[in-house]
Structure formats: C-alpha cells, structure tokens
Homo-oligomer: A and B are copies of this chain.
Amino acid sequence: MSTQVVLLGHGGGGRLMAELIERVFLPRLGSPELARGDDSAVLPYPGGRLAFTTDSFVVEPVEFPGGDIGRLAVCGTVNDLAAGGAVPRHLSAAFILEEGLPLDLLGRLVASMAATAREAGVRIVAGDTKVVPHGKADRIFITTSGVGPIPDGIAVSGRNARPGDAVLCSGALGDHGMAVMVAREGLGFAGCIESDVAPLNGLVQTLHALGPALHVLRDPTRGGAAAALNEIAAQSGVAIRIEEGAVPVRDPVRVACELLGMDPLYVANEGKMLAIVAPEAADAALAAWRAHPLGREAVRLGEVLEGPAGRVTVRTAFGTHRVLDRPLGEQLPRIC
C-alpha cells in the first residue's frame, strides 16, 4: 500500500479494501473469524452456532428508486446472516445523524426499516443515536448488526467451493448500483431502473434442505459478482468459470452500463445471492430458487474448476475466455 492516507477505493470491496484489511486490520486484531473473510462470523454458543455480522451504510442519495438507506441497512445485515447459513433473528441499529436532518425524513427512513424488518421476519432490538454538527457527516449513516442461529447440518463458507461445483445466481445483476448511480447523477433512466434491495433470508433458506451439498453463499454487493467470485476463488484455492451468455442483466441496466462504460458484473447488488453447490444438487437448488418470488430468474452461472487458484474467467459466446479481475476499488462510491 503505497498511499499514506485512506482513499475512497479503500471502501470499495475490491483489491484496495482487501489490502487495508490485510495490512491494517488483521495483523492488529488477529481474530480467526475476521481472517476467514466470510460475510458473518460463526460463534460457538452452548445452544448451537450463532452467526454475527455488522455493516455500515452511507449510501447517497438516502432515497433512491426501489429503496432507501433504511431498507438497505436492514437487508444488508439480514443478507449477510443468510449468506452465513443462519436464520436472521435480531438486529441492532446505530444512527449517526447530521445536525439539521429533517425529522420527517428520519421518520420515513425508520418506518422503512421497520417495514423491511417485518418483511424479513427479524426484530430490531437494540439501538443508538449520535448527532454530529452540520458539515461533519452527510445527513444519515446507519450501522446495523445482526445475530441468528445456524441450523445444524449447514456449514457454508467461502472456503468450501470444490472443483465440479455449480455456481448459481438468484437473478439479474447490476440493478442496485445502477439505480443509485442514475438517481445520484440525474441521468435520464429514471423510472426504468430500480434497486433490487430485498431481504433474501427466505430465498436462501429454501437451500437449507441441501444440507452438506450447500457449499458457499455470498451476496454480491460492493464490487458486484466479480468481487464476490474472486473472493471465493481465492478463499477456496480454486478457479471459477462463468458463461457470459448466462449472466442475467435487465435491458435498461445493460444499456446504462454500455453508455457509462461499466460492466454489470462489477456493479453492486442488494437483492441477489450467489450459491455454490455440489454438482448433483444443482438442479434441485435451481428449482427451489425459481419457485421463490425473489428467485424466479435464477440461473446456473458457471462452475468451479481445479485451478489456477484464485482465477475467475468468463467464457464468451464465441468460446474465448477473458479473466474477470478483482476490481481495484469500487466504480461507484457510496453505493451502500
């Protein structure tokens, strides 16, 4: 890390962020749970394993087509717990408010959190509020944490991908990132692109029946599917190959990405899940997802290969291959 200061890209879910974690956080905190690099920690408690996770949300604008920072803050933590194989139960919410924030906006955002929590079947049981002077924050930042039990027989981790496994994706990619981008920049796609932000615990739990055939779950947020697949390939020491023709992208998102020179595989999602399952379980998993309202467009995206370890490739319609690099930072800051 040649820089001496924090850069925007350090928060982007890409290589810069990985460097920050590896060079600043891990050597000092030295906790095996952090070093695993999964979306939530697995804690051994007397009554069974608990998942525990946290995320701060700083999205700008705070309200965008399809959602707002409140819905995002609940879904982000619910989905991280779900990606840990857990049944999300209890959330905390800590607010950092900028002096002068309109109370009616705050009320709307809290109502949105409450509605999303009901939708997800979780409860917000602990909270905190801090206020900083005008100009020392940007309206509202929300940090949620969550806990939930991991059912017996479920053991997912980014380390569990095995050669031959199938890579599944629960639906179209890039909606959240492009919706926020369009709202922030006032681009002309308003009305066409909505964030996919949604609680995915119900969708994910349809895969719990697979038991040990369910190897990896990850929600492709910052850095998009490209960052998530690269993380998994590195954690598991495998290669992953996806089929370009299988990547689900809605037309308005595809057009917006082309105009802006972006690749939907690198754009953040907040309502999609990636699953890696044993090959013999792939059809059952896909069928289970497609029967769920949030998984109707689920696809088999590709497969896990022996190596080279950490390499993710895309096979094009022409049969050629290109490397899908880990992004450096995030193309769109403050996306979540």
What residues of chain A have their CB less than 8 Å away from a CB belonging to chain B? 1, 3-12, 17, 20-21, 24-25, 28-31, 33-34, 40-41, 43, 45-48, 50, 52-58, 89-90, 92-104, 106-107, 110-111, 113-114, 117, 123-133, 135-138, 141, 143, 145, 147, 149, 333-334, 336
* Complex: A99 Cα to B41 Cα, angstroms: 28
Closest beta carbon of chain B to A150's beta carbon, Å: 12
Give the CA-CA distance A122 to B9 in the complex, in Å: 30
CB contacts (< 8 Å) of A97 on chain B: these are: 6, 10-11
Closest to A222 in B: B130
Query: Which single residue of chain B is at the shortest CB-CB distance from A104?
Result: B4
Which residues of chain B come closer than 8 Å to A7, judged between CB atoms?
99, 131
Considering the chains assembled together, what is the distance between the CA atoms of A57 and B89 in angstroms? Answer: 25
Asked if B6 contacts A114 (CB within 8 A), the reply is no
Residues of B within 8 A of A56 (CB): 94-96, 128, 130, 143
How far is B93's CA from A218's CA once the two chains are assembled, in angstroms?
20
Contacts known (A45-B45, A132-B58, A147-B52); A6 close to B126, Cβ less than 8 A: no
Q: Which residues from B are CB-within-8-Å of A114? A: 28-30
Chain B residue, CB-CB nearest to A40: B126
A57 (CB) vs chain B CBs: closest residue: B130
- Chain B residues within an 8 Å CB radius of A50: 45, 50, 147
Complex alpha-carbon distance, A249 and B114, angstroms: 43
Option from B90, B93, B99 in Cβ contact (under 8 Å) with A8:
B99
Given A103-B4, A138-B137, A333-B133, CB of A92 within 8 Å of CB of B127: no
